[in-house]
Amino acid sequence: MKVQELKHASLKKWVEDAVSLMTPDSVEVCDGSKAEYDRMIQFTLDAGLATKLNEKILPNSYLFRSDPSDVARVENRTYIASKSKDDAGPTNNWIDPAELKKNMTSLYKGSMKGRTMFVIPFSMGPVGSDIAKIGVEITDSPYVVANMHIMARVGTKVLDVLGPDGFFVPCYHSVGKPLGAGEKDNGVWPCAPVDKKYISHFPETREIWSYGSGYGGNALLGKKCLALRIASVLARDEGWLAEHMLILKLTNPQGEVKYITGAFPSACGKTNLAMLIPTIPGWKVQTVGDDIAWMKFKEDGRLYAINPEAGFFGVAPGTNNDSNKNAMDTIKSNTIYTNVALTEDKNVWWEGIGYDAPGKLIDWNGNPWVQDKSNKDQKPAAHPNSRFTGPAKQCPAIADEWEDPKGVPISAFLFGGRRPKTIPLVNQAKSWIHGVFMGSIVGSEVTAAALDVQAGTIRRDPFAMLPFCGYHMGDYFKHWIKLGQTHDESKLPKIFFVNWFRKNDAGKFIWPGYGENSRVLAWIFDRCDNKGKFVDTPIGILPTPDAIERPAGVSEADMKEILNVDIEGWKKEIADVRQNHYPKFGDKLPKELYSELDAIEKRLNA
């Protein structure tokens, strides 16, 4: 389709204005067809930006490498440019929107010279769903087009639903490196220097402007940018939830079903939990989504969730047949791999894949690499944040309802993170407001998914939304509290906190995790119906040590340890929240959360 054929007048003008600004050599409006996807891939192969993988091992799959400066989200170059700095809040980077647009407009000027501009109409959520939203991304990256084909529903069918005057979120993206005459890219996707990268969000005008990065979360603008940062603002204004959450379908041996969402910081096991294979007989887990949930209230008073994405953008290192067989089976074909290692027979390899490196590899930087286990300082073959982009429909555990436009009714929210001490294996909130309190104090070890934060340290990440909330987190907490006040609490999901990562004094994990987490899910399932053995404690409702069937290798003493209320540890936790965490949000921190903090402290002291 040509730009002049667009029937949506404001969309057509927006594209024409972008063409005038960025001066591409040509313009294509994406139709979403397989032929288009194949053409994008062929373009990258011809340009030396991709490697075709072994057709017999990984059919229709390709490997891409990035510039070493462009391997993860760049949080210190990500901006919430609200009109008021106070609306962005202290945990977001803010620049005056007029100043930012002026600066970025000068960067966009001529940025697509020598390239093609691609116009990608995309639906976040099943096309036509009343929970879904439409975006349109302009990009000069065929890598982005190919990934968006997998991660969203794209093309003509989206324009048909948009109609002549429908709402869409306009998204600018440019890699920021115009090509001179006869110039070519150098075998990695192009990008701008770090100090010229901008991932900018304009909440009031519902716009996204991204410049200088080709990495997933910075360039696939339907993902974190629209699905969380802009959608969280839409959700606040329209009375729903846009959350950094997996969605799973849990079926017990009697055939009863519950749908559960879970919020965990990046690379803390969301995908593994969403695709979990239960170890307890008769139970079944199926995947609705692995990263983002959009939830709206329906006529029956319950929250219904859709997965706005159509694919998985998963962290490769650590993914193997033991940790996540369903993910491994999902990415056996039609998959884009980014920054993993390449074997001599054109297969992929990464640290934690489950077997030693097979001979000579080419590492993620394009250099020869041979595994040397005796060298503890050897740099990894695959980048710690290397990724796979695979179609969700290929997942063996995908739920039949995963594309149901009306969504699925949610019974429970899980919050969690990597905490070696203090936080028990599972803890149920006493009430909605107690659950919001628990979500507001989530803390976790930092992972490699964030480029500019030291890995291994612990930081607070409320609701696992700190890098993704498009407005002041204090107002975000208020939004959650308001939903509890304006809806029947008996119909709201129950709230739980889980921690698979408790360690003993020797630094070893106490709980085996992975498929054994189904034992915890079984208790949560029962608690949604007010069943199951429990004890009421100062910090919440915990299972009794015999309420969860112990997996092999976990002793009775271990269960008591990971289900124990560490009074002194919790007093330190509360003190840290009071002194260091909550003050960040100033006078926008809801008084209800301070009241909850006081109540828990009082119970602990008693």
267 is in an annotated binding site: yes
Sign of the dihedral through C-alpha 281, 283, 288, 290? negative
Confirm if 70 and 191 have CB atoms less than 8 A apart. yes
Confirm if 442 and 461 have CB atoms less than 8 A apart. yes
For 392, 427, 524, 564, the CA distances from 536, given in Å and listed in that order, are: 40, 10, 15, 12
482 is in an annotated binding site: no
321 is in an annotated binding site: no
**Looking at the DSSP assignment, which residues form a beta bridge with residue 73?**
450
- Enter the tokens of residue 438: 């628990």
Number of other CB atoms surrounding residue 87 within 10 Å: 18
Residue type, 351: E
Instruction: Give the Cα separation of 505 and 109 in Å (integer).
Output: 58
As a whole number of Å, the CA-based R_g of the chain is: 24
Instruction: Give the Cα separation of 145 and 220 in Å (integer).
Output: 8
514 is in an annotated binding site: yes
Strand ranges, E, within 359-424: 361-362, 368-369, 387-391, 408-416
270 is in an annotated binding site: yes
DSSP 554: -
The answer to whether residue 268 is catalytic is yes
Q: Is 480 exposed, middle or buried (0-12, 13-18, 19+ CB in 10 A)?
A: buried
DSSP 57: T
Instruction: Give the Cα separation of 198 and 219 in Å (integer).
Output: 10
Confirm if 139 and 241 have CB atoms less than 8 A apart. no
Confirm if 290 and 275 have CB atoms less than 8 A apart. yes
268 is in an annotated binding site: yes
Q: Do β-strands 26-29 and 116-124 pair in parallel, antiparallel, or remain unpaired? A: parallel
486 is in an annotated binding site: no
Instruction: Give the Cα separation of 101 and 261 in Å (integer).
Output: 36
304 is in an annotated binding site: no
Report the candidate in 307, 303, 243, 229 with the shortest Cα–Cα distance to residue 274: 307
272 is in an annotated binding site: yes
528 is in an annotated binding site: no
65 is in an annotated binding site: no
Residue type, 571: K
For 55, 79, 424, 428, 436, the CA distances from 541, given in Å and listed in that order, are: 52, 39, 11, 5, 15
Instruction: Give the Cα separation of 585 and 364 in Å (integer).
Output: 40
Instruction: Give the Cα separation of 290 and 272 in Å (integer).
Output: 8
For 27, 446, 511, 512, 566, the CA distances from 508, given in Å and listed in that order, are: 55, 18, 9, 10, 18
- Enter the tokens of residue 282: 């008769």
Instruction: Give the Cα separation of 308 and 129 in Å (integer).
Output: 10
Instruction: Give the Cα separation of 387 and 438 in Å (integer).
Output: 30
For 486, 580, 587, the CA distances from 478, given in Å and listed in that order, are: 12, 20, 12
201 is in an annotated binding site: no
339 is in an annotated binding site: no
Report the candidate in 482, 506, 490, 495 with the shortest Cα–Cα distance to residue 442: 495
- Enter the tokens of residue 567: 């009074």
- Enter the tokens of residue 205: 């005008």
Residue type, 192: A
Instruction: Give the Cα separation of 201 and 79 in Å (integer).
Output: 6
418 is in an annotated binding site: yes
Catalytic position from the list 30, 268, 395, 469: 268
What residues form the annotated binding site?
73, 215-217, 224, 244, 266-272, 291, 385-387, 418, 514-517
Output the known binding site for GTP.
267-272, 387, 418, 514-517
* Active-site residue list: 268
Which residues make up each annotated binding site for Mn(2+)? Answer: 224, 244, 291
Summarize the annotated binding site for substrate as residue ranges.
73, 215-217, 266, 385-387
